[in-house]
């Protein structure tokens, strides 16, 4: 059975969901009672985010490369980083490791394309919304990806880092997040919402937006991981 490598802990709540969904998806896809072999390297989220906060992208890349090489050392067949934010340096990291990596961004763009959506709203940490790595991949595929304004980005980021990464689901926050989408939609006219933070599906769901397609990047990423797994 192939070994799946996961860089987890960024944050822990979504890493638990990755673990559960990978097992569920693997068994369903292969119609088996076997379990996939998953090696999780749970890294220090605070350290990683400090590199991002301080725009130390070379240090962030080196840090992630070191952690992935630990997974290479135990013979994983491929690696997935269980978070959107570190994908800001995905290409740089992939170029410095031997093991193939499954990109949450590329898998999400595939899904947007498959659903024939042309304009989508991206939500996530401030880094994910503003750094441009999602928008770059979207543009290549002819997709327009929009983000909230600066003030709304900051609100989403603060709630994400202050509540969601600690698995704190606050009803008022959910109401405000839905309100941001509903306020933006008439003016911009997007067709879907990309939950570009792996903790966002803990608080936002398809049922919250009857008139929009919700793209859960955690589930999309897991689908890509499962597609590469094998007995």
Mean pLDDT confidence for 6-31: 94
Count the residues in the chain: 231
Whether residue 42 is predicted with pLDDT greater than 70 in this model: the reply is: yes
Instruction: In the chain, list all ranges with CATH 3.40.50.1860.
Output: 3-103+220-228, 105-217
Domain 3-103+220-228 part of CATH 3.30.390.30: no
Phi, psi of 10 (to 5 degrees): -130, 65
Name the pLDDT band for 13 (thresholds 50, 70, 90). Answer: confident
Q: What percent of the chain has pLDDT over 90?
A: 93
> CB of 56 within 8 A of CB of 86?
no
Q: What was the pLDDT predicted at 231?
A: 53
Q: What was the pLDDT predicted at 7?
A: 98
Name the pLDDT band for 6 (thresholds 50, 70, 90). Answer: very high
The architecture (CATH level 2) of 105-217 comes to 3-Layer(aba) Sandwich (3.40)
Whether residue 141 is predicted with pLDDT greater than 80 in this model: the reply is: yes
Residues 188 and 119: their CA atoms lie apart, in Å, by 9
**What's the Cα-to-Cα distance from 225 to each of 5, 89, 105, rounded to whole Å?**
10, 19, 13
Query: How many other C-beta atoms are found inside a 10 Å radius of the C-beta of residue 150?
Result: 11
Mean pLDDT confidence for 150-163: 96
The model's pTM is 0.93
Whether residue 1 is predicted with pLDDT greater than 70 in this model: the reply is: no
Residues 217 and 197: their CA atoms lie apart, in Å, by 7
Closest C-alpha among 82, 90, 88, 81 to residue 53: 88
Residues 141 and 177: their CA atoms lie apart, in Å, by 27
What mean pLDDT, rounded, does the chain reach? Answer: 95
> CB of 66 within 8 A of CB of 41?
no
Angle at 183 between CA 179 and CA 187, to 5 degrees: 160
Whether residue 70 is predicted with pLDDT greater than 80 in this model: the reply is: yes
């Amino acid at each position: 059975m192939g070994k799946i490598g996961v860089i987890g802990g960024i944050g822990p709540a979504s890493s638990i969901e990755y673990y559960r969904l990978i097992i569920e998806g693997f068994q369903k896809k292969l119609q088996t009672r076997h379990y996939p072999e998953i090696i999780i390297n749970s890294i220090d989220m605070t350290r990683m985010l400090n590199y991002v906060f301080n725009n130390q992208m070379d240090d962030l890349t080196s840090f992630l490369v070191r952690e992935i090489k630990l997974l290479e050392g135990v013979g994983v067949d491929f690696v997935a980083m269980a978070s959107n934010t570190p994908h800001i340096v995905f290409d740089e990291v992939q170029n410095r490791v031997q093991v193939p990596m499954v990109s949450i961004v590329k898998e999400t763009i595939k899904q947007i394309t498959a659903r024939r959506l042309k304009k989508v709203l991206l939500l996530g940490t401030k880094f994910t919304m503003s750094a441009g790595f999602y928008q770059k991949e979207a543009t290549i595929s002819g997709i327009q990806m929009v983000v909230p304004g600066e003030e709304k980005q900051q609100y989403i980021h603060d709630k994400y880092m202050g509540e969601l990464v600690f698995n704190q689901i606050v009803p008022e926050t959910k109401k405000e997040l839905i309100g941001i989408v509903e306020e933006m939609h008439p003016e911009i006219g997007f067709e879907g919402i990309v939950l570009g933070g792996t903790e966002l599906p803990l608080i936002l769901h398809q049922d919250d937006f009857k008139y929009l397609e919700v793209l859960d990047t955690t589930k999309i990423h897991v689908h890509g991981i499962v597609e590469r797994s094998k007995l």
